[in-house]
Amino acid sequence: MSEVQFQNDIGKLIEILPLRIKRNIQEGLLDDAIEIVLDIGRIPEIRLGNGKIISIGNDNITRQDLDYICEQLPEFTSDNRSGIAGTLHRISAIRNRQGKIVGLTCRIGRVITGTIECIKDFVVQNKSILFLGRPGVGKTTKLREITRLMADELGKRVVVVDTSNEIAGDGDVAHPAIGKARRMQVAQPEFQKDIMIEAVENHTPEVIVVDEIGTELEAQAARTIAERGVMLIATAHGNTLDNLIKNPTLSDLIGGVDTVTLGDDEAKHRGCQKTVLERQKQPTFDIVIEIIDRNTLAIYKDSAQAVDYILRGWPITPEIRKVDGNYKEKKQDVNILKKVEELDKKINQPTQSSLSFNFNRQKYIQENKKHKKIYIYAVSRSIVDKIIERLDIDASIVRSVEEADFVIAHKNFAKGGTKILATANEYRLPVFFVRTNSMSQIQRVLKEALNLTQENQEVEHITDYKDSTELALDETNAAIAKLSEGAEVVELEPQDKQIRKLQHELVEAHGFKSTSVGEGKDRHLKIFKDE
């Protein structure tokens, strides 16, 4: 791996500063600086990457100081940005209500190489990549280095859509940091979407690089580009993937989010409510990378899967990589089933040895993976989650049988889940049944499945919490008991349609009859003996 190198044009930035400020900038003071802040009536400041702020001298900035700097710069555009030709430095203005400049932020631009070595294996896959992260963590720096890699080392036709000239610097000649890539400047930020489409239509690129996708129209333009088979490398406004999903303006970048009403069977299968959030379509970007800090990246290698997991509440763990190359995949991402299959193949292969090889899947899982994955069928997810949390169990609920270590199913609905049970049997997964969706019942079965020792017995009755579904089913069980003792008819409390359906099924399972009576919010079950 190549060593991280730092290159800059600090001297050209210092040249535009007033003489009295230059004199107070000692050699090496700007080595770790992010920006120089110049506000009228205040002492100028240098802001470092570690958050430290250093004052420059003791004299306040005057209007003459700001005028001196502005005279040496190109005219500020509508987004109040300018730059220094041939450099990556960006000068941003703060204006008063009359439009006069009262402050300047001199953002120091550097060429930093070696920051993408840890993700180079993703970059060369020709998949579109989206970078997320707070300002100042190095998103643009990585775009710049990826651009050079694509254009020079991989020999691809790369076009940079450079809004505010932040990627390839100010001036008509692009900065050497982008290599042989071509640069299309954007006159005004609102034109970025148009230049993105123009780049595809006029210049036949294989790769397009865009910084700061921030509007719905730009997100649509990005999707149009991706659908034409062009690789996209971009950044977006947002700190994490979760933030992006919740952003209605930019959620289209990762497929969009829509509210979907599930059928009864599907809701039981998932163990969730009937109304859920679902991804609308294929994401524009195949890979999403969160820049946690300058040296740490969190990578979602399959953005579609990651979004689906987050929307359904499934646990998802990104791969963490370091710029220094010391990266590793989280243990949770290890595919145990693949290892099992490999061992199964070894079992079936004839060998010269006469020694028997006995493979115990449960023992293998226990030894290689302490974290347990549970698949539930027609069992209350909220109750299972609460039990896991209260007992402090290292376990989580997964969305498919294939991922699970064992299955917990509702006995009354198991007959309708023959496919699920068949799959569980195929993967040699143990199946545990609950009779009711009660806290005590599910807790007992869960502890049995996890082989919890006597050390855990003090938390046997962890809480008296019961959700609305459990309370309704407990009421139904009490009514069934009354009928068994001689009562002719018992009426229950009003419930919604979904809960009433569960009540009907429970009554039927005990050999009694039931019907729904009442209107609207007063609709409830009337239970009676089968005449």
Mean pLDDT confidence for 493-508: 86
* Residue predicted with more confidence, 368 or 439: 439
Residue 92 identity = S
Res 25: pLDDT = 87
CATH classification code of 468-528: 3.30.1370.50
Res 185: pLDDT = 92
Phi-psi region of 109 (alpha: psi -120 to 50; beta: other; left: phi over 0): beta
Question: What is the domain partition of the chain in residue ranges?
Answer: 5-110, 114-332, 362-459, 468-528
Answer yes or no: is pLDDT of 499 > 70. yes
Res 284: pLDDT = 94
Give the tens place of pLDDT for each residue, 11-63.
899 999 999 999 888 777 888 888 999 999 999 999 987 889 999 989 999 99
DSSP symbol at 411 = G
CATH classification code of 5-110: 3.30.450.90
Contact 167, 160 (CB under 8 A): yes
Answer yes or no: is pLDDT of 344 > 60. no
Res 355: pLDDT = 36
Fold of 114-332: Rossmann fold (3.40.50)
Contact 91, 70 (CB under 8 A): no
Angstrom distance (rounded) from CA 192 to CA 452? 59
* DSSP three-state, residue 95: strand
Answer yes or no: is pLDDT of 65 > 90. yes
Angstrom distance (rounded) from CA 203 to CA 208? 10
Res 476: pLDDT = 87
What does pLDDT average to over the chain?
A: 82
- For 23-72, give the DSSP string: TT--TTTTTTEEEEEEEBTS--EEEETTS-EEE-SSPPB-HHHHHHHHHT
Give CA torsion, residues 173, 177, 178, 183, to 10 deg: -20
Give the tens place of pLDDT for each residue, 317-332.
899 998 875 444 443 3
Give the tens place of pLDDT for each residue, 186-235.
988 889 999 999 999 999 999 999 998 999 999 999 999 998 999 999 99
Res 267: pLDDT = 67
Query: Do the first three CATH levels of 5-110 and 362-459 match, i.e. the same topology?
Result: no
Res 520: pLDDT = 84
Handedness of CA 79, 80, 84, 88 (dihedral sign): negative
Residue 15 identity = E
Give the tens place of pLDDT for each residue, 447-478.
888 877 544 443 333 334 455 677 788 788 88
Structure token digits, residue 512: 């009694």
Answer yes or no: is pLDDT of 485 > 90. no
Q: Smallest Cα–Cα separation from 89: which of 45, 130, 34?
A: 34
Mean pLDDT confidence for 130-147: 90
CATH classification code of 362-459: 3.40.50.2300
pLDDT interval class at 315 (50, 70, 90):
confident
Q: Smallest Cα–Cα separation from 61: which of 38, 94, 37?
A: 38
Give the tens place of pLDDT for each residue, 421-444.
777 777 778 888 888 888 888 888
